[in-house]
Amino acid sequence: MADHVALPHPAPTHQGISLCGVTKSFGSKRVLDGCDLQVNKGETLVVLGRSGEGKSVLLKHMVRLLEPDAGDIWIDGQEITGLARRKLMLLRRRFGFLFQGAALFDSMTIGKNVGLMLEEHTDWSRQRIRARVRECLEMVGLDNVESKLP
């Protein structure tokens, strides 16, 4: 078997996501072993595999929800492995996340589900939360489902 040869670091002008030699272990279990991946801006990619084979670990590394043991991660020509927390938070705003097992509370309306985190983690008034929920639902074409159950 040939030794792993890592992809070269992407050009500073590359638009997309690149992982170069990313390695991650949890205890003695190596989940990613010198993973190289390049996804160009506008490209669609599907990650398939059996349960426990590292799909979620791979995706979480792309936005540094997990830190690699080794290797580099680049987004739009910027190396993000050592990015400061504030800049990392700004970067993450450009991505959408839907984790496995994510679900709505079926006893609450869609509007209440969407506003739950604002209710729990801000001091916003109910009126302000409702307005923001309506705004968000409108942005994704779901303005007619606010009062419906999931």
Domain count, the chain: 2
Confidence band, pLDDT 50/70/90 cuts, at residue 146: very high
Please report, for residues 51, 58, 91, 105, 119, the alpha-carbon distance to residue 16 in angstroms, rounded to integers and kept in the order given: 27, 15, 13, 35, 35
List the structure tokens of 74.
């680049």
- Let me know if residue 10 belongs to a domain: no
> Do 143 and 111 meet the contact criterion of CB atoms below 8 Å apart?
no
What's the whole-model pTM score?
0.61
The rounded distance, in Å, linking the Cα atoms of 28 and 22 is: 16
Looking at per-residue confidence, does 127 or 95 come out higher? 127
Give me the domain span that covers residue 122: 103-150
pLDDT of 52 reads: 84
Same domain, 21 and 58: yes
pLDDT value of residue 130: 96
* 59 plus 87 within the same structural domain: yes
CB atoms within 10 A of CB 111: 19
H-state helical runs in the chain: 55-62, 85-92, 110-121, 126-139
